Copies of this chain bind each other. A is one copy, B any other.
Amino acid sequence: MDDDGFAGFAGATVAVVGLGLMGGSLGMALRQRRLVGRVVGVVRRPEVAAQAIRLGAADATTTDLAEGVRGAALVVLATPVRTILEQIPRLEPHLADGAIVTDLGSTKTAITQTMAALPGHVQPIGGHPMCGKEVAGLAAAEPSLFDGATWALTPLQRTRPATIERMRALVQAVGARPLMVEPDRHDRLVAAISHLPYLLAVSLTQVAEVVGQDDDAVWRLAASGFRDTSRLAASDVQMMLDILITNRRYVRLMLQSARARLADLDRLLDDETALRAVLEAAQAQRAGWRPGG
């Protein structure tokens, strides 16, 4: 396959490996908008295969990775990060000439490093759509999931401009906004605005649980503030574990930064003037932010 002068993936076969929330939503978006010739879903469990066809997430499914990616112009890995790391080398003998290999994983350094070892005839490029829900699985998938979302693309040194352009066009075609970013830079930024929020939500849930052990009225008093701040604690544990372990260095950095901030806030409870200034700065910052902004 030759991607020069070939604007999109019209008529092409796209393999989506893993039909959970993200992969399933992508399959639906590609099919509903008729952006590709055919979506082949690679799944682990036969019951998900049947569900994928029923929900319109794929035209065909297989439980065999080699069979699924054969002849695909684009392979999208949509499994948890460490499963992606394990799948990349297994793709190698089965990839079509010129095939683009991308992924939807939440950390990018380990994945792009592993992609670098793919043979020269394929084109690797990392990807990460900044959307999701705390509910995992195909049942929660929806073709509009990517609408308005930022979709990070992390090209490798060898990724050709034409590959980047095709991926940029595909990302826009499913409704998202591509953002080119280096893998290391991506991982630092998402540690701050995605992985840290998860750990803060977990800590809040843990504190409420301890308080609830001797007074379960805490659960009746908990309202929208608790609901929103703790929401991410309900995220899929395997997905989050893979993220935390493959981005440990930056996660730890952000965690330490947050702990230092909380220690400061504790101290400022005795210094109202300084506390007010700090809370006003955070208020202005947060009130001025808009998603994707």
Contact = CB atoms under 8 A, between A and B. Distances in A.
A149 B221 CA distance: 9
B230 A251 contact: no
Interface in A132-180: 132-133, 149-150, 152, 177, 179
Q: Classify the secondary structure of A's interface with B.
A: helix
A120 interface: no
A33 interface: no
17 contacts: A132-B225, A177-B220, A181-B221, A197-B225, A197-B226, A199-B262, A201-B286, A203-B265, A207-B261, A219-B289, A228-B228, A229-B231, A230-B286, A233-B282, A252-B266, A252-B269, A255-B265
Contact of A293 (B193, B219, B286, B292): B219
Contacts of A248: 269
B210 A257 contact: yes
Given A197-B230, A205-B285, A150 B185 contact: no
A217 B185 contact: yes
A114 interface: no
Given A189-B215, A207-B258, 17 more contacts: A131-B224, A132-B225, A179-B217, A188-B215, A190-B221, A197-B226, A200-B203, A202-B265, A203-B265, A210-B257, A219-B289, A220-B293, A228-B229, A233-B283, A234-B286, A251-B269, A255-B262
B206 A261 contact: yes
A257 to B, nearest CB: 5
Interface in A4-26: none
A72 B57 CA distance: 63
Contacts of A285: 205-206, 208-209, 233
A227 B149 CA distance: 13
A218 interface: yes
A211 interface: yes
How many copies of this chain sit in the oligomeric assembly? Answer: 2
A79 B211 CA distance: 28
A206 B223 CA distance: 24
A225 B194 contact: yes
Contacts of A65: none
A286 B279 CA distance: 27
Contacts of A283: 233-237
Which of A232, A286, A291 has the most chain B CB atoms inside 10 A of its CB?
A286
A110 interface: no
B188 A211 contact: yes
Interface string A234-255: 1111001100110010011011
